[in-house]
């Protein structure tokens, strides 16, 4: 069979790499892909936001399965467009994708289903939001733009002034465009974050292993939020008991709530969690795999992922299928460009990828890369996701950093503490 993957990041590289290993698959295409993806799939120059172009390409090539990597096309309704043409697509329709596309929608659904989440209020009027922060809110608050903002529309305010400033930035100065029509102001939760990623066929859920992202730019979780500077799996903060709580309190009520709202949700359900003393609380839902969590999850994934995606895309059931993970942990360290998470410098020559990839158990996933004169050059904010497996977490971390040390490009920066939090809690 032939599979099309939509997207161009490290997550999509990991997806293409994994899908290409399936004995069911003859050919993998990726639109638009990147220089590293081109080694595992045929890249075609169609942007992930060009629904009409993608649809035409998929129809012409009669793909058996299309896997949508990023959220924006899902929120824009690409899955509905493919389904209307009878093309099997892995990813929810636009209504389901509102779970990620609108914080207010997600919060309302959570409160209707009794899913634990921070207490919140939604405002479409900046002066009402300000008044709430000044007079009513207790303790520290988090201010969130209501629409998609590439992981950057959230301000965890340490002071009342910071919260007011965030409202000003988002609603008055429109720092995130139309996402600033509304804000969600919510209570700040204390705990440790984890990602819980699962596949849903509308009824049944299969979960991947737990994982943890590192959202802040700098070591010790300092600096601004980014798309994610590294990840590891499993996350020991999600032990067997906690996993049970996540299924009982979050995932099952969510699947029920979506059904009750008349939404047949087929695709990835990703719960961004805060693990607190009182159990899991949901910070956000996403409707696609995490980036960079996908990289360690898929190198650990011992099952063929294609039958699962295909069943979901065809409207079937995953009840008899499984997603198994190997016992050894995996770690992904993101190497980013000068300027990231702000505007970045592109076109810098990358050295050492081949040497890094020679290390046993290391896979270098590409994100913002392209080819110039047959050499890899930087082409985005997050450039590479250097991923390693090991028998122990410490071993996987050491291997990932030893691979990173072989790679260089001008302005390259990365966190030195990926996975550190979990050491001591893991063998």
| Interface contacts to ligand GLY, rule CB under 6 A | 151, 213, 228, 286, 290-291, 293
Kindly state the smallest distance separating residue 219's Cβ from ligand GLY, in Å: 18
Kindly state the smallest distance separating residue 193's Cβ from ligand AMP, in Å: 6
* H helix or E strand, kind and range, residue 283: strand 279-286
Longest dimension (CA), the chain: 62
Report the residue number, 225 or 408, with the smaller CB distance to ligand AMP: 225
* Token output for 346: 């592109």
Collect all residues with Cβ–Cβ distance below 8 Å to 261 and sequence separation of at least 6.
109
156 touches, from ligand GLY, ligand AMP, none (C-beta below 5 to 8 Å by class):
ligand AMP
Report helix, strand or coil for 129: helix
146 touches, from ligand GLY, ligand AMP, none (C-beta below 5 to 8 Å by class):
none
Count of beta carbons in the 10 Å neighbourhood of residue 316: 16
Alpha helices per DSSP H over 301-366: 306-313, 353-357
Report the residue number, 9 or 88, with the smaller CB distance to ligand GLY: 9
Kindly state the smallest distance separating residue 286's Cβ from ligand GLY, in Å: 5
Q: Are 293 and 211 in contact (CB under 8 A)?
A: yes
Report the residue number, 40 or 293, with the smaller CB distance to ligand GLY: 293
Kindly state the smallest distance separating residue 27's Cβ from ligand GLY, in Å: 27
193 touches, from ligand AMP, ligand GLY, none (C-beta below 5 to 8 Å by class):
ligand AMP
Kindly state the smallest distance separating residue 11's Cβ from ligand AMP, in Å: 16
293 touches, from ligand GLY, ligand AMP, none (C-beta below 5 to 8 Å by class):
ligand GLY
Name the residue among 333, 325, 331, 323 with its Cα closest to residue 300: 325
| Distance between CA atoms of residues 107 and 284, nearest Å | 8
| Residue least distant from ligand AMP (Cβ) | 284
Q: Are 422 and 232 in contact (CB under 8 A)?
A: yes
384 touches, from ligand GLY, ligand AMP, none (C-beta below 5 to 8 Å by class):
none
Report the residue number, 133 or 364, with the smaller CB distance to ligand AMP: 133
Report the residue number, 183 or 287, with the smaller CB distance to ligand GLY: 287
* H helix or E strand, kind and range, residue 363: strand 362-366
Report helix, strand or coil for 366: strand
| Distance between CA atoms of residues 320 and 209, nearest Å | 18
* H helix or E strand, kind and range, residue 272: strand 267-276
End-to-end, the C-alpha distance of the chain in Å comes to: 40
Residues in touch with ligand AMP (CB under 6 A): 118, 142, 144, 151, 154, 156, 186, 188-189, 193, 215, 225, 272, 283-284
Q: Please state whether 301 falls in left (phi above 0), alpha (psi between -120 and 50) or beta.
A: beta
290 touches, from ligand AMP, ligand GLY, none (C-beta below 5 to 8 Å by class):
ligand GLY
144 touches, from ligand AMP, ligand GLY, none (C-beta below 5 to 8 Å by class):
ligand AMP
Kindly state the smallest distance separating residue 294's Cβ from ligand GLY, in Å: 8
Kindly state the smallest distance separating residue 288's Cβ from ligand AMP, in Å: 14
* Token output for 70: 């990023």
Report the residue number, 171 or 238, with the smaller CB distance to ligand GLY: 238
| Distance between CA atoms of residues 333 and 354, nearest Å | 16
Report the residue number, 164 or 188, with the smaller CB distance to ligand AMP: 188
Q: In what order do the strands lie in the sheet with 183-187?
A: 120-123, 183-187, 141-145, 154-156
Kindly state the smallest distance separating residue 106's Cβ from ligand AMP, in Å: 9
Report the residue number, 146 or 213, with the smaller CB distance to ligand GLY: 213
């Amino acid at each position: 069979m032939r599979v099309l993957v939509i997207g161009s990041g490290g997550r999509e590289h990991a997806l293409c790499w994994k899908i290409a290993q399936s004995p069911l698959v003859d050919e993998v295409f990726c639109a638009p892909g990147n220089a590293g993806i081109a080694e595992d799939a045929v890249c075609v120059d169609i942007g992930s936001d060009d629904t009409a172009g993608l649809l035409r390409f998929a129809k012409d090539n009669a793909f058996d399965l299309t896997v949508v990597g990023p959220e924006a096309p899902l929120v824009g309704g690409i899955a509905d467009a493919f389904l209307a043409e009878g093309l099997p697509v892995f990813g929810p329709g636009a209504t389901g994708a509102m779970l990620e596309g609108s914080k207010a929608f997600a919060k309302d659904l959570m409160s209707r289903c009794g899913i634990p989440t921070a207490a919140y209020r939604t405002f479409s009027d900046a002066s009402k939001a300000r008044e709430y922060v000044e007079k009513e809110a207790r303790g520290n608050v988090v201010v969130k733009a209501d629409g998609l903002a590439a992981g950057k529309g959230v301000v965890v305010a340490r002071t009342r002034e910071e919260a007011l400033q965030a409202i000003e930035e988002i609603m008055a100065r429109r720092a995130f465009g139309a996402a600033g029509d509304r804000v969600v102001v919510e209570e700040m939760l204390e705990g440790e974050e984890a990602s819980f990623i699962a596949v849903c066929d509308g009824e049944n859920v299969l979960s991947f292993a737990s994982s943890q992202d590192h959202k802040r730019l700098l070591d010790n979780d300092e600096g601004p939020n980014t798309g994610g500077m590294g990840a590891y799996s499993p996350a020991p903060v999600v032990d067997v008991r906690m996993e049970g709580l996540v299924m009982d309190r979050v995932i099952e009520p969510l699947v029920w709530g979506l059904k009750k709202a008349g939404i047949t949700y087929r695709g990835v359900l990703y719960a961004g969690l805060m693990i607190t003393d009182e159990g899991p609380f949901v910070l956000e839902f996403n409707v696609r795999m995490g980036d960079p969590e996908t990289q360690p999850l898929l190198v650990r994934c011992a099952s063929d992922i294609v039958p699962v995606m295909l069943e979901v895309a065809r409207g079937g059931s995953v009840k008899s299928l499984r997603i198994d993970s190997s016992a050894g942990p995996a770690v992904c360290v993101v190497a980013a460009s000068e300027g990231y998470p702000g505007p970045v410098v592109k076109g810098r020559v990358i050295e050492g990828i081949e040497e890094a990839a020679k290390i046993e158990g290391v896979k270098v996933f590409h994100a913002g890369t392209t080819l110039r004169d047959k050499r890899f050059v930087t082409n985005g904010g997050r450039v590479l996701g250097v991923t390693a497996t090991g028998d122990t977490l410490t071993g996987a971390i050491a291997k990932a950093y030893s691979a990173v040390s072989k790679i260089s490009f001008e302005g390259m920066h990365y966190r030195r503490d990926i996975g550190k939090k979990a050491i001591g809690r893991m063998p």
